[in-house]
Amino acid sequence: MIIRKLKLKLNKKQTEEIERYLYHLTSVYNWAIRKIELNAKDKIYFSKLDFANILAGYSDKLDIPSHTIQGTLSQAYNAWDRCFKKQSKKPRLKGRRNRLNSIIFPDPIKPPKDNRIGLPFLGKLKFHKQELPNGKIKLGRIIKRPSGYYLCLWIDAVHNFSVKETDKAVGIDPGFSTLLTLSDGTKIDNPRELRKGELRLAQAQRGKRKKLTARLLERQANRRNDRNHKISRKLIEKYKTIYYSNDNFKGLAHSFGKSVSEASLGKLIGMITYKSRLGGRDVIPVNSKYTTMTCSACGSLTGPKGWDGLAVRNWECSACGAVHDRDINSAVVVLNSGAGYAHKGGMINVFN
Ligand SMILES: [Zn+2]
């Protein structure tokens, strides 16, 4: 399944119509969230199918496709379902601060013609020219963003992702100051626009300019996504096996705040993993516990330790005298330990 996002060029009438949908579907969503909660208190539970049909007949009254209403009801149902299974918090009602921003069209959609795509009730919508992969469009979702309206399409097609034969392996150390450090010494940093964007975003946030902040946040998310695509693609093209140190990203973001959460390393690793499957590559997490402390030359635990050690950029091994850049050393240790040298109770057994 391939997901593609079209930027829509809506006329005034279509925009009003979509806003009207969002208004009514917000009520539907909130009503559904409350209903499930109240009924659960009385020990009344619904099956997913029954609940999706609970507003059957309202399509005409609201002048919204019945399957779209069903989709919104399922969305509310799933939100509670995740909560009951302890996978997420109690769902919140949609309102001014967290608006409902998507409208689902759960039925197959005809392929577009001349930059126009037809949706039930809404008719033909124009979009910015974009090539789509061949395949059946299974469903769609209109999404409202600060920069405009988009249509996401789920297309039944296979990624064509061919990579050259190679058996090269690499170790990756995701970091704080440098985004990724590779065991061959390459350091990959955030692209310049992303770093610049952070400054503008901070300015807008300090100035309490809400609309601008929302637009900039969206743009930053796009840049980050773009960065993740480019980096992951390059790594998958170049290496057969990728080892990365499996840091606790959430814990790191908690201790270090912005710099790490902004790097959104988890998402980047996720994308590398996902593309590795398409390209037939291997991505393997390696326990990161001793990577910084271990000398990549002799295996002694002579490197910087603990949180204080994070400030250390370069260090010399007291056992063998090798001089290390902290991040590159970690990446090499990740590669070595991933490639077969096992961590054993705090000692690295290099000669096994
Ligand atoms: Zn050493």
* Ligand 1 center to 146 CA (angstroms): 53
- Name the range with the highest mean pLDDT among 107-121, 159-173, 174-188, 334-348: 107-121
Per-residue model confidence (pLDDT) at position 352:
32
* Ligand 1 center to 318 CA (angstroms): 7
* Ligand 1 center to 195 CA (angstroms): 35
* Ligand 1 center to 271 CA (angstroms): 34
Closest CA to 14 of 102, 97, 121: 121
Per-residue model confidence (pLDDT) at position 253:
58
Q: CA 23 to CA 36: how far, in whole Å?
A: 21
Per-residue model confidence (pLDDT) at position 149:
97
* Ligand 1 center to 322 CA (angstroms): 6
* Ligand 1 center to 343 CA (angstroms): 16
Q: CA 171 to CA 183: how far, in whole Å?
A: 5
Q: CA 74 to CA 47: how far, in whole Å?
A: 10
Provide the angle, in degrees to the nearest 10, between the axes of the packed helices 210-238 and 192-206. 160
Closest CA to 313 of 326, 294, 329: 326
Q: What SS3 state is found at 181?
A: strand
The H or E element containing residue 241 is strand 241-245
* Ligand 1 center to 317 CA (angstroms): 5
Q: Which two tokens stand for residue 139?
A: 């469903």
Q: Are 52 and 81 in contact (CB under 8 A)?
A: no
- HSE of 94, CA atoms in CB hemisphere, 13 A: 20
- pLDDT, one tens digit per residue, over 83-130 is 999 988 999 999 888 889 999 999 999 999 989 999 999 999 999 998
Q: What is the mean pLDDT of the chain?
A: 88
Whether residue 226 is predicted with pLDDT greater than 50 in this model: the reply is yes
Q: How far is CA 261 from CA 88, 141, 250, 251, 256, in A?
A: 20, 28, 8, 10, 8
Q: CA 126 to CA 141: how far, in whole Å?
A: 15
- pLDDT, one tens digit per residue, over 36-87 is 999 999 999 999 999 999 999 899 999 999 999 999 999 999 999 999 999 8
* Ligand 1 center to 122 CA (angstroms): 68
CATH fold of 159-190+238-352: Nucleotidyltransferase; domain 5 (3.30.420)
Beta strand pairing call for 241-245 and 323-325:
unpaired
Amino acid at 63: D
Closest CA to 181 of 330, 297, 337, 335: 330
Whether residue 328 is predicted with pLDDT greater than 90 in this model: the reply is yes
Per-residue model confidence (pLDDT) at position 261:
55
- pLDDT, one tens digit per residue, over 242-258 is 999 877 665 555 555 55
CB atoms within 10 A of CB 251: 10
* Ligand 1 center to 320 CA (angstroms): 4
b/e string for 6-30 if b means 16 or more Cβ within 10 A? bebebeeebeebbeebbebbbebbb
What residue ranges do the domains of the chain occupy?
2-156, 159-190+238-352
Match 């009951």 to its residue by tokens.
Answer: 84
* Ligand 1 center to 344 CA (angstroms): 18
Q: CA 78 to CA 72: how far, in whole Å?
A: 10
* Ligand 1 center to 183 CA (angstroms): 16
* Ligand 1 center to 226 CA (angstroms): 39
DSSP assignment, residue 94?
A: P
Average pLDDT over residues 251-274: 70
Segment among 76-90, 157-171, 278-292, 331-345 with least mean pLDDT: 331-345
* Ligand 1 center to 26 CA (angstroms): 62
Per-residue model confidence (pLDDT) at position 346:
40
Average pLDDT over residues 5-15: 95
The residues whose Cβ lies within 5 A of ligand 1, an ion, are 295, 297-298, 317, 319-320, 322
Longest CA–CA span in the chain (Å) reads 79
* Ligand 1 center to 316 CA (angstroms): 8
